[in-house]
Structure formats: C-alpha cells, structure tokens
Structure 1
Amino acid sequence: MFTVSRTEHALTFVLGAVAALSPIWVAHSDRALWTLVVLGVLIALAGLAQLREMATGMAGRALGVLGVLMFISPWVMNFHSFSGASWVAWVVGALTVVVALAEMPEVAGRFGAAAHH
C-alpha cells in the first residue's frame, strides 16, 4: 500500500534527483554545479533509503539539515547571481525541510497522524 510516509519518501527522492540533474537545464557556475549535484544526490539517497526502509529515525533530521544547506547554498557558495540554479536550490531546500518536518513524529502527532517510524 502506498501510504503518506511512502509518498513523502518518494517526494524526497524526486526532489534530490531534480536538484542533482538541474545543472543540465539551468545556467550555473562550477560551484553551483557541484553543490546542486552533491546535495541533490545526498537528498535522493536519503529518500531512497527511507523508501527501502533502511534508514533510521535520524534520516528525517539529516534531511532537515540537508534541506537547510541546500536553501542557503546560493549565498554560501556564492552562486546567487545564477537565478536558475538559485531558485532550484531555494525550492528544493525549502520543500526538503517541509517534508523532513512532516516526517518527525513530534510534528506528525500534532496534526493527528500516527508516527511513521
């Protein structure tokens, strides 16, 4: 059965894949390329590990950290002038943080959902 948590994990994988592949269609610098690819692959791998149920409870927190790193990367890695790469980082980073927060048992419990893990 395809549950909400599996949907969140699949979305995480897709977000990471989009970020990792985005240098194909957006203008970027070398820093933007490597940042999007590395962080995108890490996000996708975390989502895949969660889909395969190989991840521990720390995966959600790690995703939150990766999402924040992705969101701030245009300023930290100085590629904010490349609007396409920046928007990919901001959107993927923000959505990754939202998904990571939604997966946390303490947040899921507040909205009446059972803990996923």
Structure 2
Amino acid sequence: MKKWTRWEDWVAIAAGAAAMLSTMFVPPMGASVALMLVLGALLVISGLVNLAAPGLVAMEYVQAALGILLIVSPWIGGYAEAMTFGAAWMSWICGAVALVAAVLAIRPSMQAHHDAITH
C-alpha cells in the first residue's frame, strides 16, 4: 500500500480538522473548546501517522478510540445541553465519521502490515 493515498486516513484528518475549526463557529459550552481542540488535533496527528506508515495497525485502533472519545466528550465535558447542541452535534458527527473511517481502515492496514512482513 502506497503512503499518503488511503482515503480513510484523509477522512479522519478532515473530521479532526472540522472538530478543531468548529470551535470558532459554535458557541462554547463547558469544556467543549478544550476537548474538541485536543481530540481534533490528536485525530489529525494520528491520521498523518497512518498516511506516512500505512501498515501500523495499532494506529487504526488509536483513531477509533479518539473517535469514541469525541463521541462521548459532550457528556464528559458538560456541553450536551438540552437546547444548544452546536458543539455537541459537531463532536458527535466528527467522532462518528472518524470511528467509521478507522473501522473501515483496520483490514487494509492489517493486509499492508502482513505484506510488509512477508516480503
């Protein structure tokens, strides 16, 4: 598998960037800004690592875990309010996109890892 070509990792990077950039547009609540910036940045970094080294299976699980953390962060950070869901919806959507992309990337990453070892 060629470096810098996996669409799943580009999607995870876009989800992380969207989470980070959305903090400028949605009203801040609770710890939304901090959690979305940190988890978004970690998603971008993990996506770049996956693009640079496509055979690292563990990084796919890291991306999945970051997606899950982004999904649950509105409840952890206290910004899942009943009337204003802007930051919460961005966390849920970006986290779900990152999680789905990571799950879809696990098998190709395992194959790339297997091919790298056997050749």
TM-score band by shorter chain is 0.7 to 0.9
Task: State how far apart, in whole Å, the 2-side matches of 1:39 and 1:60 are.
Answer: 15
Q: Following TM superposition, by how much is the alpha carbon of 1:104 offset from its aligned partner in structure 2, in angstroms?
A: 1.3
Alpha carbons of 1:2 and 1:54: their partners in 2 closer, same or farther (altered >3 Å)?
closer
Identity rate, percent: 28
The alignment's TM-score, normalised by the length of structure 1, stands at: 0.82
Task: State how far apart, in whole Å, the 2-side matches of 1:74 and 1:16 are.
Answer: 16
Q: Following TM superposition, by how much is the alpha carbon of 1:28 offset from its aligned partner in structure 2, in angstroms?
A: 1.3
Q: Deviations over 1:67-96 (max 9, x none)?
A: 110001101111112411000000011111
Q: Following TM superposition, by how much is the alpha carbon of 1:57 offset from its aligned partner in structure 2, in angstroms?
A: 1.4
| Counterpart contact for 2:2–2:54, Cα < 8 Å | no
Q: Following TM superposition, by how much is the alpha carbon of 1:29 offset from its aligned partner in structure 2, in angstroms?
A: 2.3
* Residue 91 (1) aligns with residue 87 (2): no
Alpha carbons of 1:89 and 1:45: their partners in 2 closer, same or farther (altered >3 Å)?
same
| Counterpart contact for 2:11–2:97, Cα < 8 Å | no
What does residue range 12-91 of structure 1 map to in structure 2 within 5 Å?
12-29=12-29, 31-53=31-53, 56-81=56-81, 82-91=84-93
Task: State how far apart, in whole Å, the 2-side matches of 1:50 and 1:31 are.
Answer: 28
SS of 2:63's partner is helix
| Larger of the two Rg values belongs to structure | 2
**Structure 2: runs of 5 or more not aligned:** 114-119
TM-align CA RMSD: 2.3
Amino acid at match of 1:92: C
* Count of equivalent residues: 109
